[in-house]
Structure 1
Amino acid sequence: MTLCYDSSGDGPALVLLHSAVCDRHMWAPQWPALRDAGYYVVWCDFRGFGDSPVADRPYRDAADVADLLDHLGLERVALVGSSHGGEVALEVAATRPEAVTAVALLCSAMPGHVPGPELRSFTERKNALLAAGNIAGAVELNVTTWLGPEASGEVREQVRQMCRHAVETHAAAKFASTAAPVDLARITAPCLAVSGAHDLADFREIAVGLPERIAGARHLELPWAGHLPSLERPAVVTDLLIRFLGETVPAG
């Protein structure tokens, strides 16, 4: 199996997909409660993150996740995605609509999204730091950009460590994930699109617009949140996920 993953529990399958700033360990506050709520929980590292190796050929994160579902024999699954993980979840849900039972998106990216001024500025600053060999500066830029004002010092350090590993690994990688064009209208699963009031405009606009693209999708904005709400207020987001999943994919 290409991707490193963990799993725990029994019941309906639930796969947690991390942001491109973190790795699968970002879900440490959520997975035990989701397991205890009656779900079989899987959380994985994309290639070049956490414990998954970098790619030796072109690849797509969504295809890797689909392979993981096949490897585990999961014919029906709910998906929770943070940021880039949300983009991956959308691609999987659009290409395998019959297999996906629910989609919860936390400040999600979106396939085909054209970056706005804020996201372009961030990317340009990050790339300039990396081109200058300033990995520490690129990591700090990520931490300050993606965590909201309520994130604790401990959480900032956790994100810093995950981000540093990802940045260092991808700086030496030959390939990066590509996304396939997808028709989001093919998604039939219930969808909750969460945005953070302190996040970049791109991700707030994506969340607001998804109900126009996906039948049955709904949007919820968290007034206290930045880009990584599951780390900023873990218990609040855990309860939100359990309520949404209880409405759409009841356990037991």
Structure 2
Amino acid sequence: MILALSWLVQGCQPGDSLVFHFSGHGSQQKDSDGDDLDGYDETLCPTDFETEGMIVDDEINAVIVKPLTHGVKLHAIIDACHSSTVLDLPFLCRMDKSGKYVWEDHRPRSGAWKGTSGGEVISFSGCDDDQISAETSALSKITSTGAMTYSFIQAIESGHGNTYGSMLKAMRTTIHKKINEPGGGKLPSLISMLLPGGLFRGGIRQEPQLTANEQFDVYSKHFSL
């Protein structure tokens, strides 16, 4: 997976628009270098993580964020548990239920650089770092899907994809209506995988998040992949 991420950004030129979509398991582990404000590194779990280990946010940032040069844009769409800051981007858009927002500064106190080399990175993620992303049939009514991925597609198809703010608000509305209620979600967390019977059911608080390498007005910046 790291080789594929390296390939994605290799040889990029001004005007290139890149997309990284991951739908799978995410987790956390103790932060080893003190650059995460909550004390935990967020991780992605590829299919071989049990033998090769999880991919840590520091490594993801180093591979696909820092190398991006001026004129190159990367969108990450991460449908996984604990995924809000999995790209280790400097700023998180903290939006409330009414749609009002502020940018939280997640730059490391150490001064370590987590931005790009002039490019632009914006990430939509399935949930906050302390939350779990649901897999559920409550949305499609046909088969189980990642709630974040479904709500992302639904926001575009329903005409809410004009700005980043309208996208994020629409995604949250979809999930709040169907997932954040008793019996609404089927949760694919690493913990649930280890429980007898595998996946379990129950209500879940899941709020998609938006992070970026720079702050911007989410309701005026046009959304475009």
TM-score range, shorter chain: 0.3 to 0.5
What TM-score, normalized to structure 2? Answer: 0.38
| Greater helix share, structure number | 1
What TM-score, normalized to structure 1? Answer: 0.35
Compare relative contact order (CA 8 Å, sep 6+) and give the higher one, 1 or 2.
1
| Greater strand share, structure number | 2
